[in-house]
Structure formats: C-alpha cells, structure tokens
A = this chain, B = another copy of it.
Amino acid sequence: MPETAPRIGRPPVTSRAQIVAAARTLIDRDGWERLTLRRLAAELGIGTTTLYHHVRDREALLLLLLDDHFAQVELPALPDDPEGRIVAASAAMHDALASWPWAAEVLTADGFIALVGDHALTFVDTIVAAALDAGRSHEPAVAVFRSIWYYTVGEILVRASSARVRADGWRPDFEAHLARLDPARTPGLATIGGRWVEYAARDTYPEGLRALVRGLLG
C-alpha cells in the first residue's frame, strides 16, 4: 500500500512489528510464561497502556506471534493427487505448530477462526483447494479442512496436556482414577486403564491423519 495519507497527529513511538519483535526477544530470553504486557512494554521502553493502541488484546498479540512463526515455515513440495496434497500440507501444518512450544496456549486462546492468520493461510488454502480439486463443493471442502484442523490441534493439545500432567503431581491421581473405575459401568475404560495416559503421550499423528483423510474423501 503506497498510500501516504495526510499523516496528522502525534507520530507513533512503536510499530506493530517492533512489538512482535520485542515479544520474541522476551520469550527467547525469559521464557514464554514470563511474557506479560507489562514486561513487554518495559522491554520496549513504553507505557503498558500504549500497547493497546497497537494491539487489540493480549490474545491478538499471541495471534500475531503465531503468524510470525508461520511466516518462517515453508510449505514442502506437494504430490499431485489431492489426497496426498492434503496429507502433506496437514503434516507440515502440524509440525509447524508442534515445533512451537507455546502453541497449545495460543491455540486455545480464541477458537479456531481468527486463529488463522495471514501466513498460516497458505497451509489452509492448500488443503481447501485440494478438497475442491477432489470434487467437493464449497461447504464440504471447508468442512474437510475443519475436521483436519480439529484433529491437528487436538493431538497437539493432548500431548501438551499430557506433558503438563507428567510435570505436575497429578498424573498418579488420574491413573488411579482410571484404575478405580467400575468395570460394570465402564467396561471399555476399565480394560484400558492407565494405558490411556500412555497412549495420549505417544505421537501417532501421521497414521491418524491418513485414516482421517481417507474417511473424509472416501
């Protein structure tokens, strides 16, 4: 946009890009959980309130960070057939998210719509376009993407949650809870028992994805 409008008023002391950059610095130095708006403002040498003139929300900032991460991820070479393209793009999307330690936190910030930032849309589009190619009409194509998206985010969240459960103390609690189930009332779960937790920790994304895509397109 080469529009240089009248440019009236006090000039901004900070840009959105600077904020994102400072946030990344802060995260790399002190860790994700120490990223607060106050600390971020201090890092930039501005008042905390000022952040709100550049970013709607803490959540909006997180989405900017997520998109910033997606900007550095490349879509791999894709197969020709639609199904293969969907699988490859989904796996790339999954890996991009899984390599981001704080993805779980951001992904649960606001559901699943606004989350799709500018750069992530490349991945989204590949999947939607492939579903269209495979003969789906508009609404079903979007539905295909959504199912894949749920599965992708879900598997990441479950694994993150499983890690947190292991780190805190209450993994024994949960396993004990499973073990204490009444086999008459919940025979299936009683059969599985503590292995539930074990399974949740295992990354079986690719297999599940292939089955899912086959079902969606089949």
A125 with B215: in contact, given A158-B146, A199-B143 (CB under 8 Å)? Answer: no
Q: Please tell me if the beta carbons of B128 and A165 are within 8 angstroms of each other in the complex.
A: no
Contacts of A192 in B (CB 8 A): 128, 138, 141-142
Q: Is A108 an interface residue (CB 8 A)?
A: yes
Contacts of A186 in B (CB 8 A): 121-122, 124-125
Interface residues of A in 161-195 (CB under 8 A from B): 161-162, 164-165, 170, 174, 181, 185-189, 191-192, 195
Contacts of A208 in B (CB 8 A): 143, 146-147
Cα distance A197–B142 in the bound complex, in angstroms: 10
Interface residues of A in 86-121 (CB under 8 A from B): 104, 108, 110-114, 121
Cα distance A191–B132 in the bound complex, in angstroms: 10
Closest to A208 in B: B143
Cα distance A18–B79 in the bound complex, in angstroms: 59
Contacts of A122 in B (CB 8 A): 185-186
Cα distance A187–B129 in the bound complex, in angstroms: 7
Q: Is A200 an interface residue (CB 8 A)?
A: yes
Q: Is A40 an interface residue (CB 8 A)?
A: no
What sequence of 0s and 1s flags, for each residue 193-218 of chain A, a beta carbon within 8 Å of any chain B beta carbon?
00111011010100010011011101
- Give the B-binding residues of A (Cβ under 8 A): 104, 108, 110-114, 121-122, 124-132, 138-139, 141-143, 146-147, 149-151, 153-155, 157-158, 160-162, 164-165, 170, 174, 181, 185-189, 191-192, 195-197, 199-200, 202, 204, 208, 211-212, 214-216, 218
User: Given A132-B188, A150-B153, A154-B154, list of 4 further CB < 8 A pairs?
Assistant: A125-B188, A130-B188, A143-B199, A215-B218
What are 9 A-B pairs with beta-carbon distances under 8 A? A108-B108, A108-B111, A112-B161, A113-B200, A121-B189, A124-B186, A129-B187, A130-B188, A146-B158
